[in-house]
Structure 1
Amino acid sequence: MSAPALLLLAHGTQDAAGRATWERLTAAVAQAVPEVEVRLAYADVVSPTMAEALAELPGPVVVVPAFLAAGFHVRVDVPEQLAATGRPDVVVAEAFGPDPELVGVLLDRLAEAGAQPGDTVVLAAAGSNDPRARADLDTAAALLTARVGHEVPVGYIAGGEPRVASVVASAGSRGPRVVVATWLLAPGAFHRWLADAGAAVVAEPLGEHPDVVDVVVRRYRAAAA
């Protein structure tokens, strides 16, 4: 029996750099599991949608939702989209969430951007008013806090309060320079907006880092089993 196909499900973006990042991540996942057919779909904004991608994939299929917090898409949108397909041979893996391995990627991206020991780190996330999504972001901040040795506050880029610029200003009043750890998977408008947040350093999104690939593969294998 052949291995189930893997459908990586991203949020969706019209940003060319963002889509290129998702395509590179998909290619890296395919290289990591050469025995598996790997495809990319988007939950919103652009095509192919999950339904369109599944129409081209015979079952069984494992959908891996590439979301860092359990907000609307994870809890409502993706299950509804899958139910609409009527496919009984498709399972949805656990979303990324605040995986400790991804927190390690944050540290790598900060180092690549020029962050130094002693810098004050702020975690920048897209933001949500959903309490469960915010709890996931708080967990990510707590994991990062344990790694950097000081409390890491969370700032929101678009949804909810406090906004990143406000958090950066507050953190900067306490002394050392402030650096932003970017809790986003791919570049786009949200990441560009961080340039105006007032931080000394803004890290790149997680992107196609090998540990992101590893999280995708782990989620896939757990669901396929």
Structure 2
Amino acid sequence: MSGVVLAAHGTRSSVGRRCVETIRRELQELLGRPVRLGWVDVCEPHVSDVVRDGDVVLPAFLGAGYHVRVDLPTAVAEHHGVTLTPHLGTDEAVVEALAGRVAEAGGPWPLTIVGWAGSRDERSRDQAAEVTRALARRWQGRAQVVLATPAEIPALVVGSPVPVGVASYLLAPGHFHDRLRSAGAVATTEPLGSHPRIIEALARRVHDVYERPWGHVFPGLGSGAEGLAVQCPTG
């Protein structure tokens, strides 16, 4: 039977690593099968050292940046029969989890900032903008919703005549979340972390591997390449 590998970015934050381990553990409980953890950067073991032939690899990433498009396919390329599923992307579960974190923190606020790490990758920027627009539609008439990096948020807070809150569009605590929290907003949500909708979205990707033909577009992820399951050759 094939195994399941959760592939995460990596962080020097011990709190961030514990958060990702919680995601792995709760995913394992939901699936009822072992889930191994591999890192793409900073931490060990690396994904390439964890993955085995026939595994299903789940990218625990919000955006389609370099790690998702290049590093992960490279890490699994030497193994046979490995399926690399779509990253979390613009899945409705991400929007629902982010809205849930905002509600937990007392929002939405008149000005709600979707705080993210930023990216040079156009695909990642487009996906973050799409999530922001989805939240704006959800809270239409209740909040103005904008996307901003930690460097951009302080000026928005100072210049706002209304209370400002930050929705942390990050998967785990670490450097960027610390910067969001120190940006001066009235409230900052917790990262998405092990929110039930995130765990369910990851589990659904595993189930879909066995229920759908290889290369089928996964629901909620659009029709671009970021929505495809990629299977490596079996021989």
Per the TM superposition, whether the score is higher than 0.5 is yes
Corresponding residue number in structure 2 for 1:166: 155
Are the counterparts in 2 of residues 7 and 38 from structure 1 also a CA contact under 8 Å? yes
CA offsets per residue over residues 4-43 of structure 1, 9 Å max, x none?
Answer: 3111111001211001011111110010011x32111111
Corresponding residue number in structure 2 for 1:101: 93
**Total equivalences in the alignment:** 209
Corresponding residue number in structure 2 for 1:80: 74
Report the CA distance between 1:205 and its aligned residue: 0.2
Q: 1:166 to 1:129 in 2, by over 3 A?
A: farther
Are the counterparts in 2 of residues 155 and 165 from structure 1 also a CA contact under 8 Å? no
From 37, 42, 45, the equivalent of 2:42 is: 45
Are the counterparts in 1 of residues 157 and 164 from structure 2 also a CA contact under 8 Å? yes
Mapped pair 1:155 → 2:152: no
Q: 1:88 to 1:168 in 2, by over 3 A?
A: farther
2:19 alignment partner, SS class:
helix
Are the counterparts in 1 of residues 114 and 146 from structure 2 also a CA contact under 8 Å? yes
Are the counterparts in 2 of residues 93 and 222 from structure 1 also a CA contact under 8 Å? no
AA in 2 matched with 1:16: S
Please tell me the root mean square deviation across aligned C-alpha atoms, in Å: 1.6
- TM-score (norm. length: structure 2): 0.84
Corresponding residue number in structure 1 for 2:57: 63
Mapped pair 1:89 → 2:100: no
Larger helix proportion of the pair: 1
Corresponding residue number in structure 1 for 2:123: 132
Are the counterparts in 1 of residues 110 and 144 from structure 2 also a CA contact under 8 Å? no
From 6, 9, 13, the equivalent of 2:7 is: 9
Runs of 4+ in 1 over 4 A off after TM superposition: none
1:135 alignment partner, SS class:
helix
**What 5-or-longer segments of structure 1 have no aligned partner?**
none
1:204 alignment partner, SS class:
coil
Q: Distance in 1 between matches of 2:29 and 2:203?
A: 11
- TM-score (norm. length: structure 1): 0.87
Mapped pair 1:111 → 2:74: no
Q: Distance in 2 between matches of 1:15 and 1:70?
A: 23
Report the CA distance between 1:118 and its aligned residue: 5.1
CA offsets per residue over residues 119-167 of structure 1, 9 Å max, x none?
Answer: 3211001110111110011111011111111442110237xxxx23234
Report the CA distance between 1:74 and its aligned residue: 0.9
Are the counterparts in 1 of residues 9 and 41 from structure 2 also a CA contact under 8 Å? yes
